[in-house]
Amino acid sequence: MSFRKSLVRLSGVLSVAVAVQAQKHYATPNTYIIQDSYDASNFFDEFEFFNGPDPTAGFVQYVDAVTANSTGLAGYANNGVYLGVDYQTTNPPAGRASVRLTTKKSYTHGLIIADIAHQPGPACGSWPAFWTFGPSWPHSGEIDIIEGVNLQTNTSITLHTAPGCSFSEDSFSHGDCGAPGDGTMGCGGPTHNTQNFGAGFNEIGGGVYALQWTSDAIRIFFFPRSSGIPTDIEEGNPNPSNWGMPAASFSGGGCNIDANFMNHNIVFDTTFCGQWAGRVWGADPVCSTKAPTCEEYVGSNPTDFQDSYWLINYVKVFREAGAKRGIAKRFDA
């Protein structure tokens, strides 16, 4: 209490110095407390089925919980959560049936850890994603953790924001996350790892993705199951300072993270064609030879999508220890 009072009385210059120190301290919080755990015991109670028209204009029909259950598109399997697509119907008129699930809860900051056993494999026309986003897109930001289309072999990690967010330190091309003026392109790009996506991921039994989100940085880590998942994660006490290099990191001046990223829901989906897989169809050297349009291919080749499923062991959300009571908070009192 007296510490807090004395801080308030400090001169302006000194307060700024203390604030910068406090920020540095918060740049790498290493103690996290479990907030929510989603797995085969509760997943479908805590994630909602989105069954409106695909916001990315895909050739897809997202189904509701009852339909997903009765048609076997979603359910608990192998002690995990299965999220698949219709791989039986030929030429479904309204698009191929699939699921898109979103957490009921939303999050700002923290650590989101997902243990995934299988992702949708490579298939012309498919566009799977594991991502987070906030309200009034793009004003609350979007973080794409696992995403790719068609026969791509590496995940693309991308951030989308309103104009005015360009990190000075990022793992890619230092792009404008609000590009090209509306956030539809964003910043980021393909990672240099074929074990983190599609076939390469599935061959090694998958692995663990972690998103660390603070006021100072957004980092995404990937741990292949074959080469070991950090013990601190397996023990439920994740400590990012033990983890080595992230797969992608966004930090540094030029983007106020807290002003551009907030209240994110977590999403898993698999869509087809639309604004990415469909848009690049003609430029894909393999897929474009199979059918003149993405929709035609996806419609007429159901069995190609048998492997287009997610098998999720768990998603856990942690918050920074002391985040609600930290020094940084004392300055906005």
Ligand X SMILES: *[C@@H]1O[C@H](CO)[C@@H](O)[C@H](O)[C@H]1NC(C)=O
**Catalytic residue annotation:** 142, 147
Q: How far apart are CA 279 and CA 57, in angstroms?
A: 10
Total residues contacting ligand X by CB under 6 A comes to 10
Q: Least Å distance between CB 275 and ligand X?
A: 19
Of 92, 190, 302, 322, the one binding ligand X (CB under 6 A) is: 190
- Residue 239 lies near ligand X (rule: CB under 6 A): no
DSSP-derived 3-state class of residue 42: coil
- Residue 92 lies near ligand X (rule: CB under 6 A): no
Half-sphere exposure (CA, 13 Å, Cβ side) for 239? 7
Of 69, 102, 239, 293, the one binding ligand X (CB under 6 A) is: 69
Q: How far apart are CA 44 and CA 287, in angstroms?
A: 34
Site for ligand X in 135-164 (CB under 6 A): 153-154
> What is the total residue count of the chain?
333
Joined together, the tokens standing for residue 20 give: 């910068």
- Residue 192 lies near ligand X (rule: CB under 6 A): yes
Q: SS3 for 51-111, per residue?
A: CCCCCCCCCEEECCHHHHHHCCCEEEECCEEEECCCCCCCCCCCCEEECEEEECCCECCEE
Residue type, 105: K
- Residue 23 lies near ligand X (rule: CB under 6 A): no
Q: Which helix (H) or strand (E) holds 160?
A: strand 156-160
> Is-contact 199 284, C-beta < 8 A?
no
- Residue 65 lies near ligand X (rule: CB under 6 A): no
Q: Least Å distance between CB 115 and ligand X?
A: 20
Task: Using the minimum distance from each CB to ligand X, give the nearer residue, 42 or 231.
Answer: 42
Which residue sits closest to ligand X, CB atoms considered? Answer: 75
Task: Using the minimum distance from each CB to ligand X, give the nearer residue, 172 or 305.
Answer: 172
179: left (phi over 0), alpha (psi -120 to 50) or beta: beta
Task: Using the minimum distance from each CB to ligand X, give the nearer residue, 23 or 69.
Answer: 69
Of 46, 57, 75, 293, the one binding ligand X (CB under 6 A) is: 75
Binding mask 194-233 for ligand X (x = CB under 6 A): x---------------------------------------
Query: 190 exposed, middle or buried (CB, 10 Å; 0-12, 13-18, 19+)?
Result: middle
Q: Least Å distance between CB 216 and ligand X?
A: 27
- Residue 67 lies near ligand X (rule: CB under 6 A): no
Site residues for ligand X per CB under 6 A: 69, 72, 75-76, 153-154, 190, 192-194
